[in-house]
């Protein structure tokens, strides 16, 4: 019995690609490549999210430069070609490189373009290989780790499953390096604080940027989009044989049976709020169904700078988060209209300009 996935995203970390940090090695990639080949033969489309450019490029730079950000970016640029070439050699079908930043993913139009490109590549049986575009990222523009990136990609690609290849067998109830009696959790149906507590904050392996925590964040994003997520040990061939047999080799995070709609998921998990709108504490608890009812008279403050179309966070003045939504007004205009003493003028203005936030792109945050 197999899992019967139509589309799967496989995330591979730096430690698998560059285990000795001296260029790329196909040692651990062979069984992953075999898995990808077999999935495709079974009719499952595969998208690969691969880290490893920084680790692969590092050996071309002298030691004393390595900690500088600009040098790290140069290492990523130099290592990316080597990493793609290493993957490409393992397949007898074409692959395609996609480099993304968070700025690309949070912009709705670019996001749609990424989706369509992935669909088109898959339709033409080309393997998309995705990494963060480290050259052009800044703190504000980066996803930061490929675990979260892989979940955003899985959502964009409408995948059924996300397989995160790690250097441990999955999520343990306590740190297996410190506790001999640590137990592997094979099944998680609800990601709550206790799961994050088990994950701790440690960075596994030390080659990539993610640890168990970012893997849980990724799982949370993915399952809410209806994507079954697995954290597995990418270093052993058995992992992939088990997956092909429809058996769980690590930790399986169960997909929600009522997943969020694609646009709501994007707003909730991919788009970043560029600013905040603070409303009265007694403002209606849920804006989701009544988004268009937010009027300037309810606004106490507007924070940050945003443009029309940017995502904003609406909070009560006691700090409670209400919704993330797409703003139809710039921060400048919203400030101007919210500060009007003349309510009639404000109402007339809004009638002409339209609702402040629209029902189409809104995600409820009340449970946070």
Residues that bind ligand GLU (CB under 6 A): 13-14, 51-55, 76, 131-132, 134, 145-146, 208-210
Establish whether 213 is an annotated binding residue: yes
What is the spatial distance between Cα 246 and Cα 274, in angstroms, rounded to a whole number? 42
184 neighbors 171 (Cβ within 8 angstroms): yes
- Nearest approach, Cβ of residue 327 and ligand GLU (Å): 31
What is the spatial distance between Cα 323 and Cα 325, in angstroms, rounded to a whole number? 6
Report the residue number, 53 or 296, with the smaller CB distance to ligand GLU.
53
- Nearest approach, Cβ of residue 337 and ligand GLU (Å): 42
Establish whether 211 is an annotated binding residue: yes
From residue 294, alpha-carbon distances to 282, 284, 322, 363 in Å are: 13, 9, 12, 14
Tally Cβ neighbours within 10 Å of residue 2: 14
Report the residue number, 33 or 75, with the smaller CB distance to ligand GLU.
75
What is the spatial distance between Cα 351 and Cα 368, in angstroms, rounded to a whole number? 32
- Nearest approach, Cβ of residue 17 and ligand GLU (Å): 9
Helix intervals (H) in 14-101 = 14-17, 29-41, 53-57, 69-89
Establish whether 11 is an annotated binding residue: yes
Establish whether 108 is an annotated binding residue: no
Establish whether 51 is an annotated binding residue: yes
- Nearest approach, Cβ of residue 130 and ligand GLU (Å): 10
What is the spatial distance between Cα 344 and Cα 127, in angstroms, rounded to a whole number? 58
By Cβ distance, which residue is nearest to ligand GLU?
208
Q: What contacts 70, CB < 8 A, 6 or more positions away?
A: none
- Nearest approach, Cβ of residue 25 and ligand GLU (Å): 15
Report the residue number, 152 or 357, with the smaller CB distance to ligand GLU.
152
Residues in binding site for ATP:
11, 166-167, 209-215
Binding-site residue ranges: 11, 51, 134, 146, 166-167, 209-215
- In the annotated binding site for substrate, the residues are 51, 134, 146
């Amino acid at each position: 019995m197999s899992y019967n996935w139509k589309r799967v995203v496989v995330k591979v970390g730096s430690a698998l690609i560059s285990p000795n940090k001296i260029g790329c090695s196909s040692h651990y990639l062979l069984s992953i490549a075999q898995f990808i080949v077999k999935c495709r033969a079974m009719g499952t489309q595969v998208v690969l999210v691969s880290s490893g450019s920084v680790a692969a490029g590092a050996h071309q730079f002298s030691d004393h430069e390595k900690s500088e950000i600009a040098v790290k970016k140069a290492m990523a640029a130099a290592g990316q070609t080597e990493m793609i070439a290493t993957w490409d050699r393992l397949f007898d079908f074409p692959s395609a490189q996609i480099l993304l930043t968070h700025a690309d993913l949070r912009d709705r139009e670019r996001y749609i373009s990424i989706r369509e490109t992935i669909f088109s590549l898959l339709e033409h049986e080309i393997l998309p290989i995705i990494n963060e575009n480290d050259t052009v990222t800044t703190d504000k523009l980066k996803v930061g780790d490929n675990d979260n990136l892989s979940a955003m990609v899985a959502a964009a690609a409408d995948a059924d499953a996300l397989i995160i290849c790690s250097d441990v067998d999955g999520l343990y109830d306590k740190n297996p390096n410190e506790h001999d009696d640590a137990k592997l959790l094979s099944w998680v149906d609800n990601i709550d604080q206790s799961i994050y507590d088990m994950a701790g904050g440690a960075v596994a392996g030390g080659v990539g940027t993610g640890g168990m925590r970012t893997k849980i964040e990724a799982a949370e994003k993915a399952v809410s989009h209806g994507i079954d997520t697995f954290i597995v040990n990418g270093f052993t061939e058995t992992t992939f044989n088990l997956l092909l047999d429809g058996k769980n080799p690590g930790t399986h995070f169960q997909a929600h049976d009522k997943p969020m709609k694609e646009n709501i998921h994007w707003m909730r998990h991919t788009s970043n709020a560029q600013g905040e709108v603070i409303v009265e504490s007694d403002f209606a608890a849920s804006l989701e169904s009544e988004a268009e009812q937010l009027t300037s008279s309810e606004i106490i403050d507007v924070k940050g700078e945003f443009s029309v179309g940017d995502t904003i966070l609406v909070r009560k003045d006691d700090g409670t988060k209400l919704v993330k939504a797409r703003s139809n007004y710039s921060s400048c205009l919203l400030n101007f209209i919210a500060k009007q003493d003349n309510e009639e003028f404000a109402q007339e203005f809004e009638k002409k300009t339209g609702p402040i936030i629209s029902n189409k792109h809104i995600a409820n945050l009340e449970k946070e």
